[in-house]
Amino acid sequence: MESDQEDEVPNVNFVPSLLFVKRGVAKANPDKVTLTPAELARIINETREDLEEEGAEGMDTSDDEENEDSERSLAERAGRLAAMNADGTGEGNDEYNFDSYEQETGTTGLHLSTVAVIDPTENIQDDEDSDAEDEIIKPTDNLILVGHVQNESASMEVYIYNEEEGSLYIHHDFLLPSPPLCIEWLSFDAGSDKPGNMCAIGCMEPIITIWDLDIQDSLEPVCKLGSKGSRKKNLPKLGHTDAVLDISWNHHLQHILASGSVDQTVILWDLEEGTPHTTIRDFGEKVQTLAFHPKRSETLLVGSCDGKVKVFDCRSTTEDSSSYKMWDLGGEVERVCWDHFNQNCFVASTNDGKMHYIDSRQDERPLWSKEAHEKEVTGLVLSAHVKGMLSTASADGSLKVWDIDEQDARMVYQKNPKIGVIQCLGECDESPFTLALGGDLKTKNFCVVNLLDNDIVSNVFKSRHVANVPDSSSEPPTEEMEEATIEDE
């Protein structure tokens, strides 16, 4: 029995990114896309063409094998969807003749405005069990978006987490072309005048994909930012040229998205047009982390692997020149985050296990620096609802909670969640003592932790919890913000 279980453990199984989605933004009954055989064929044919073109440009044998696996995985997923569209189950014959989809003609583009959707409640019988109830997303549910890599397969799993009920389970997922390195939620939907429930994903590939979280079983995103170009189709390259390591959405100028890449650039995207507006090139190494200021729409904090952390004024940043302040932290900058309670200050972590607290008004050294972990600090969350509560996670496998101010950081709590090398850390907005962590342990790579289970954390921080902090995404812009637009060059 033990050996059989070991054989089932994947060779590769890790969680490189995750993110909590606040309660109440998701549809109670997510739509399910109904695709025609021609639309399914078009998606697979386009994927095949892209992979063949990449292969023609010099990909090695191992890459070819991975591409075949990706194509096979997509075809199998599409085949299951075709069967489900036909009879409402995942079983049955290949009614749409999917094995010979290459012979189909008359393929058309997929546009969500013209694709039929299914209301999940239409097929729920009176005697349906709890499985049907699990499909309904309640107002008290959080979504947790979890990037997952298992062997050759990459996906984003949408978990339901309900704190009151103590429930945690996968609701649906999306297949991705490569490992998801970063995830950002946004409500901006260019195709609608109403707020959406979207997420942007940066992967090992240079293209950013945007997905509608209110639609299940999607085979492709609603939007792609960037293009690798195509000699065959005479399409130019657009956007990043290498992996996207971090993404930040501007909550005030909601059509603006920032992304940082291995290609040593930051791009400010215009989501209304789906194109780059400004490319910032003031970096000597790959850009690993960035964050818009929670109140000042024009201010962008960026950390890169040359050891520099920079605060940009996007109002005076163009393709040719930039306005920024800079601090040299020595080690590669892993993560950055703003202090919501002291909004001139931010925290940055580095690959040498240190964290630094910096006042953006001062050009000198950080207010303080701390040796927080033995290895790189891969997770950094400074609570927006509990003053001074900083959570860090590291490749050394530990989670730590700190009490910080402008003078120092004092460790309050330490835990080993036993998920291997910790890759990412996220905080629940409504319940800031609830954290999610992703790691690389093959048998357990994801967990949710309630810090209030520890008496010391509860005694230090519980009284500081500010439950009704105004949501920066819903606050009206100040006069300064109204003037803070990204000017056309």
Given the DSSP bridges, would you call strands 424-427 and 409-415 parallel, antiparallel or unpaired? Answer: unpaired
Whether residue 369 lies inside any domain: the answer is yes
For the beta sheet containing 299-304, the strands, ordered from the edge strand earlier in sequence to the opposite edge, are 287-292, 299-304, 308-313, 324-328
Look at 11 and 126; give whichever has higher pLDDT: 11
Residue 361 CB coordination number (10 Å) = 9
The token pair at 276 is 């780059």
Work out the pLDDT band at 310, boundaries 50, 70, 90: very high
Alpha-carbon dihedral sign for residues 296, 297, 303, 304: negative
The pLDDT, as a whole number, for residue 44 is 72
Residue 445 CB coordination number (10 Å) = 24
Q: What is the identity of the amino acid at 29?
A: N
The token pair at 93 is 């014959």
C-alpha 35/C-alpha 432 separation (Å) is 40
Q: What is the mean pLDDT of residues 365-379?
A: 97
Q: What is the mean pLDDT of residues 33-59?
A: 68
The number of angstroms, rounded, from the C-alpha of 348 to the middle of its chain's C-alpha atoms is 19
Work out the pLDDT band at 231, boundaries 50, 70, 90: confident
The number of angstroms, rounded, from the C-alpha of 71 to the middle of its chain's C-alpha atoms is 23
Whether residue 250 lies inside any domain: the answer is yes
How much of the chain exceeds pLDDT 90, in percent? 65
Lowest-confidence segment of 306-320, 383-397, 449-463 by average pLDDT:
306-320
Work out the pLDDT band at 297, boundaries 50, 70, 90: very high
Q: What is the mean pLDDT of residues 25-44?
A: 80
The pLDDT, as a whole number, for residue 77 is 55
Say what the pTM is.
0.81
C-alpha 362/C-alpha 345 separation (Å) is 10
3-state helix, strand, coil in the chain (%, to 5): 20, 35, 45
pLDDT in tens, 58-90: 544 444 555 555 555 555 555 555 555 554 444
C-alpha 430/C-alpha 432 separation (Å) is 6
The pLDDT, as a whole number, for residue 366 is 97
Q: Mean pLDDT: which of 106-110, 349-353, 472-476 is highest?
A: 349-353
Nearest to 278 by CA among 326, 315, 252, 237: 315
Please give the tally of structural domains in the chain.
Answer: 1
The token pair at 424 is 């990412």
What is the C-alpha end-to-end distance of the chain, expressed in Å? 66
pLDDT of 118 above 90 = no
Q: How many residues does the chain have?
A: 489
The pLDDT, as a whole number, for residue 378 is 98
Which ranges constitute the DSSP H helices of 340-447? none
The pLDDT, as a whole number, for residue 321 is 78
Q: What is the mean pLDDT of residues 482-489?
A: 41
Whether residue 303 lies inside any domain: the answer is yes
Distances from the Cα of 319 to the Cαs of 99, 205, 301, 323, in angstroms? 49, 23, 18, 11
Whether residue 285 lies inside any domain: the answer is yes
C-alpha 129/C-alpha 96 separation (Å) is 31
Helix (H) or strand (E) segment spanning residue 44: helix 37-56
Lowest-confidence segment of 110-124, 140-154, 439-453 by average pLDDT:
110-124
Interacting residues of 68 by C-beta distance below 8 A, sequence separation 6+: none
Which domain CATH number covers 432?
2.130.10.10
Work out the pLDDT band at 33, boundaries 50, 70, 90: confident
Query: Is residue 248 classed as helix, strand or coil in its secondary structure?
Result: strand
Whether residue 259 lies inside any domain: the answer is yes
Helix count and strand count (H, E) for the chain:
6, 30
Nearest to 82 by CA among 98, 61, 63: 98
Work out the pLDDT band at 2, boundaries 50, 70, 90: very low
Whether residue 260 lies inside any domain: the answer is yes
The pLDDT, as a whole number, for residue 99 is 46
Whether residue 435 lies inside any domain: the answer is yes
Helix (H) or strand (E) segment spanning residue 32: strand 31-34
Mean pLDDT score of the chain: 83
| DSSP sequence for 290-349 | EEE-SS-TTEEEEEETTSEEEEEEGGG--SS---EEEEE-SSPEEEEEE-TTSTTEEEEE
C-alpha 148/C-alpha 157 separation (Å) is 7
The pLDDT, as a whole number, for residue 165 is 94
Q: What is the mean pLDDT of residues 262-281?
A: 96
- What is the extent of the structural domain holding 452? 190-203+224-483
The pLDDT, as a whole number, for residue 9 is 82
Whether residue 175 lies inside any domain: the answer is no
